[in-house]
Amino acid sequence: MRTVKHFPKDEICPMCGTNEDKECVAIPIDGTSRGNICDGIPVHAECARKGDLRFNREVNVFYKVGIPTGGQ
């Protein structure tokens, strides 16, 4: 994952709910790929390291890739 040194001031990390100025990564949003570019949501690198996260805009949730969610 590509990281950015500073967290955007006008965004909030959805994992920890703060916008502390720390290293961050952009989590790809489902269905936004255009070639090798897609929209992303900034999340602190240390928050994102907890899993291989994706964001699903339809249901507004983050989820981890490769882990069965069960049900549905």
Interaction with Zn ion in 32-61: which residues (CB under 5 A)? 44, 47
User: Judged by CB, which is closer to Zn ion: 18, or 33?
Assistant: 18
Helix ranges, 6-72 (H): 45-48
Work out which of 15, 29, 38, 45 binds Zn ion, going by CB under 5 A.
15
Q: Backbone dihedral region of 60: left (phi > 0), alpha (psi from -120 to 50 degrees) or beta?
A: left
26 binds Zn ion (CB under 5 A): no
Nearest distance in Å: CB 15, Zn ion: 4
- Torsion of Cα atoms, 9 then 32 then 35 then 52, to 10°: 70
16 binds Zn ion (CB under 5 A): yes
